[in-house]
Amino acid sequence: MSVPTTVPPSHDADRPARTGYAAEAVVDLDAVAANVGVLAERAPGAAVMAVVKADAYGHGLLPCARAALAGGATWLGVAQVAEALALRAGGVTAPVLCWLATPGGDLADAVAADVDVSVAAPWALDEAVTAAREHDRPARVHLKVDTGLGRGGATPDDWHDLVVAALAARAEGTVQLVGAWSHFAWADAPEHPTVRAQEQVMADAVATAERLGARFELRHLANSAATLTNPGAHLDLVRPGIAVYGLSPVPEIASTADLGLVPAMTLTARLALVKRVGAGQGVSYGHAYTTAAETTLGLVPLGYADGVPRHAGNAGPVLAAGRTRRVAGRVCMDQLVVDLGDDEAAAGDEVVLFGTGADGGPTAQDWAEAAGTIGYEIVSRLGARVPRRHVGTAGVA
């Protein structure tokens, strides 16, 4: 059953009608729900926050949020306040944590919409308190400590003062201390010494806060990789992201199949042109590929403007005319070419850039390896003009 796609205003408000486009990304919502179920089984003592930031890693914010909740997630996580507000506007009432804002931004809108906010600096606490007073409701706050990633979060040296200030705000009724949290630097290498070191810093930070009088409802640290490989890091809640969409966060350790996950997105296109050319024909810009013999070339109407990595020229895998082939030459803005050899093909035939891999075709991880990147980037960079079609019944009323 096909499910109409609902897209948050921040992603799709001005997108033209999706008619006649020669490519699409099919997103299996039942796979999303099933993946969340697998993750919940891996962390039996913890709640699951499905991370749906960046338009659900390119899969569609609202449909995937609903599917994740149907699969057993009880929380949703986003980066930007606008993403959280899009969830609320779409009727999602589950708890949502938003963790990335700047001074003078829209924390007040988050507090008004009953969205939890991350606080890692005095300015953020001040703005949360101001919003709480303005809307006459306490701001739901998760204090973030930098346990070693060197990115977001208060340093251990600043943690004491941040907790003291948050406790003062709690005492006046403007803040509810919901959580303490952090993020791993090297969770995809579970034996790396930084993993245990960060766990200890997290434990010390919570202990410090508790000595000062804080009582957190939730402590959370584990991303997808830690959820699947490090039970000791599960704490009260896990925050899987890429694994929700069926991609392995630890491909060097275990494949999606090994982990019991199913990739939710399949990217397909239809050949726009098929033609015979002779030996020695240069293909695409710069003639980075030259035909070795008379052959058939197929033109695929997807390019780097659609999110296909330009640096995957002569490397990116495409299932076409029954076999997996490599992109022939450079990826262009709107198109790429594949060498079909002597296999039969015609304009309009379907090709698959990536999918589940169950049919022997390429996966997003295969593209990641071809482009020297990670699967996260392959799916989340998929361009806005590629239609998403959601199938399955998970999360559909």
Quick count: other Cβ atoms within 10 Å of Cβ 282? 13
Q: How far is CA 263 from CA 164, 172, 317, in A?
A: 44, 47, 16
The radius of gyration of the chain from alpha carbons, rounded to an integer in Å, stands at: 23
Burial of 86 (0-12, 13-18, 19+ CB in 10 A): buried
The identity of residue 193, as a single letter, is: P
> In sequence order, what are the residues at sequence separation of 6 or more whose Cβ sits closer than 8 angstroms to the Cβ of residue 363?
256, 263, 354, 355, 356, 357, 375
Q: How many CA atoms lie within 13 A of 383 on its CB side?
A: 16
The DSSP output letter for 132 is H
Among residues 290, 264, 260, 266, which one has the least CA distance to residue 278? 290
Task: Tell me which of 21, 57, 245, 285 is the catalytic residue.
Answer: 285
Can you tell me whether residue 76 is helix, strand or coil? strand
Distance CA 278, CA 163 (A): 71
**The two three-digit tokens of residue 382, written as one number:** 């998929």
Among residues 183, 228, 255, 242, which one has the least CA distance to residue 378? 242
**The two three-digit tokens of residue 201, written as one number:** 């810093």
Task: Tell me which of 21, 53, 57, 304 is the catalytic residue.
Answer: 53
Q: How many residues does the chain have?
A: 397
At residue 202, φ and ψ (nearest 5 deg) are -60, -45
DSSP 35-66: HHHHHHHHSTTSEEEEE-HHHHHTT-HHHHHH
Distance CA 153, CA 79 (A): 14
At residue 211, φ and ψ (nearest 5 deg) are -65, -30
Active-site residue flag, 53: yes
At residue 319, φ and ψ (nearest 5 deg) are -85, 110
The residues assigned a catalytic role are: 53, 285
